[in-house]
Each structure stands twice: as structure tokens, then as C-alpha cells.
Amino acid sequence: MTTAVTSPKLDALDALESEAIHVFREVAGEFDRPVILFSGGKDSTLLVHLAVKAFAPAPVPFPLLHVDTGHNYPEVIEFRDRIAATLGLRLEVARVEDYLADGRLAERADGTRNPLQTQPLLDAIAEHRFDAVFGGGRRDEERARAKERIMSLRDAFGRWDPRKQRPELWNLYNGRHAPGEHVRVFPISNWTEVDVWRYIRREGIELPPIYFAHSRPVFRRDGMWLAEGPWGGPRAGETLETRTVRYRTVGDGSCTGAVESTASTLDEVIAEVTASRLTERGATRADDRLSEAAMEDRKKEGYF
């Protein structure tokens, strides 16, 4: 008599988690010097959580890297440093402020610094000879990211060339690269924003408090609620007022807006995101509201 062996059914989050962990382990086996981009935002925090699960009980075998524009929210920087210290992970920080101070970069006329991250990022990759760079990009965020592979080749200058991207069949990834080249790796490409929040709830992952409703002085610009800060504002004609807001994404304060919200729990955030007709980037990131061609150009330059 034989007994049928049945496999436990995976739900959607189990399947996404399994795929991401598979990618982390593939990279660990195939590359010499991987690094995880970690800003303290929800997607990169999710990446670090998945990396911990991929290698437990051993420690995560990769350092963390953050390109700090100098215009980040203090709550997020505190969270970034605390999580890295708690996990015992080395945190490398490339600072845009250093490039502005010595003249390698100049402030943009519009005051935003997100586009200035590219050169410090590429310099840090070259300096540390990182050959695989994990990012938290997801295909549902906007069109330029939707075209990305799980493993995306960058040339010796950090540039993305669509003609050199390899097909990815099923879960077969091609990490082949020449000396000096590196590969950007996106383990959560197939996740949606709702998937991210549901997984955060399931796993009990801590996030910076600004992801939840709180009272904050903000001003209106280009349809977004921006916070006052060293990035400038409010300008003449812009009025500072206190609103109940939260952030769907975090980043440079000069171009990252808040949304009016009373969602103070994970269940309320998930309900709000599920009902929204705008992606988090379309709703709150000024730099992602540029044309699709502009984002493609930034990707070619090595931005993400």
C-alpha cells in the first residue's frame, strides 16, 4: 500500500516570498560582492527581512548601501541606522552632500536631489567592487520599472543598455558579467504595493512611523503635500498648514509628498491602498511624474 504525498499549498504571499528567497540564494552562490540598497523605506526593509529569512540561522552575507541625499526624513534615517545596528550589518552611506561640498555635483535649479544620487551610487559600486546590487524596484510602480528583468545587467559605466538584457525564462536567471560590470537584482519585481503591505502585516515587520497617519505641517505644491524642511519651502504664495497625513513612499523630501490619510494601522493602510486608483509613485513622487522617456534616460544613466 502506498501513501500519497501531498505538498502544502502555497498562497500568493508564500509564492512571492519563495521566489525572492530563491533569488537571494542564487545571487549568494553566483556573485562575489553583492550589496543591498537600503534606505529605510518599506520596500528595502522588506528586502532585508527576506534576506534574513533566506540565510537564517546564518547572518545575511551582504552589507547595506544607502545613497543619502541629505534631504531625507529624520525618522527614516534613525530607523535605517537602528535596523542595521540591530541586525549587525555593515551600512555604507554615500552622501550627496559630500559631492556638493567639493564641487563634483551642483544643486539643481528645481532644488530636487533624487537625480543627483546616480553619481554617488555608481562611485560606491565601483569603490567597493560590488558586482550584484539588490534593489526594491517593483514592476507595478511605473513603466520604466515594469520593463526590468529580475537580474538586469549594467555595463562598466553603470549604464543600462536594453540591447544587452537577457531573456528570463521561468526562474532561470543569467548573472554572467564581465569584470567591471555589475547586475542590478530585483527580488520583489513581481510584488504589488498591496502584496508588500499584506506581507509586512503577516510578518510583523517594523517600519518608520511616517508610513502611518500623523499630524504634520505641510504645504501644497504640484498637487502634493510637501513637508517643510532643508529642501526648501514653503515658497512665496505657498501656505504652511497642519494636516493629518502619511507617506506611501519615502525618499528625498524635496520631491516626496504625503497623502491625506487617517490610516493609522496596517489593516487601515491595506484598505486604503487597495481602494486607491493611483500607484504610490504616481501619487507622491514628483520625479516619477516626469515622462516615461525621462525615467528611461535615468535608468540608462544608472539611477536604478
**All domains of the chain, ordered by start, with CATH?**
12-194+293-301 (3.40.50.620), 208-275 (no CATH)
Confidence of residue 141 (pLDDT cuts 50, 70, 90): confident
Of 172, 168, 141, 116, the residue nearest 284 (C-alpha)? 141
Q: Record the pTM.
A: 0.90
Does residue 33 surpass a pLDDT of 70? yes
Q: In the chain, pLDDT over 90 holds for what percent of residues?
A: 68
SS3 for 154? strand
Single-letter residue type at 155: D
- Preceding omega of 57 cis (within 30 degrees of 0): yes
Q: CA 9, CA 259: separation in Å to the nearest integer? A: 37
DSSP classification of residue 7: P
What does the pLDDT average to over 125-131?
97
> What confidence score (pLDDT) does residue 5 get?
56
> What confidence score (pLDDT) does residue 300 get?
75
What does the pLDDT average to over 282-290?
58
C-alpha cell at 127: 569603490
> What confidence score (pLDDT) does residue 291 get?
57
> What confidence score (pLDDT) does residue 225 get?
92
**Residue 157 vs residues 30, 121, 144, 154, 251: alpha-carbon distances, Å:** 21, 12, 20, 7, 25
Q: CA 35, CA 47: separation in Å to the nearest integer? A: 11
pLDDT digits (tens, 9 = 90+) for 93-107: 999 999 999 999 999
Q: CA 247, CA 207: separation in Å to the nearest integer? A: 11
Q: Which residue has the higher pLDDT, 74 or 285?
A: 74
Confidence of residue 126 (pLDDT cuts 50, 70, 90): very high
> What confidence score (pLDDT) does residue 77 get?
97
Of 32, 16, 26, the residue nearest 173 (C-alpha)? 26
Does residue 1 surpass a pLDDT of 60? no
- Alpha helices by DSSP H, listed for 4-108, are 12-30, 42-55, 74-87, 96-101
> What confidence score (pLDDT) does residue 168 get?
87
Does residue 116 surpass a pLDDT of 70? yes
The string over 223-243, giving b where at least 16 C-beta atoms fall within 10 Å of a residue's C-beta and e elsewhere, is: ebbbbeeebebbeeeeeeeeb
Of 91, 96, 94, 70, the residue nearest 80 (C-alpha)? 91
Contact between residue 41 and residue 284 where contact means Cβ atoms under 8 Å apart = no
Q: Which residue has the higher pLDDT, 215 or 7?
A: 215
**Residue 31 vs residues 24, 76, 78, 290: alpha-carbon distances, Å:** 11, 30, 31, 34
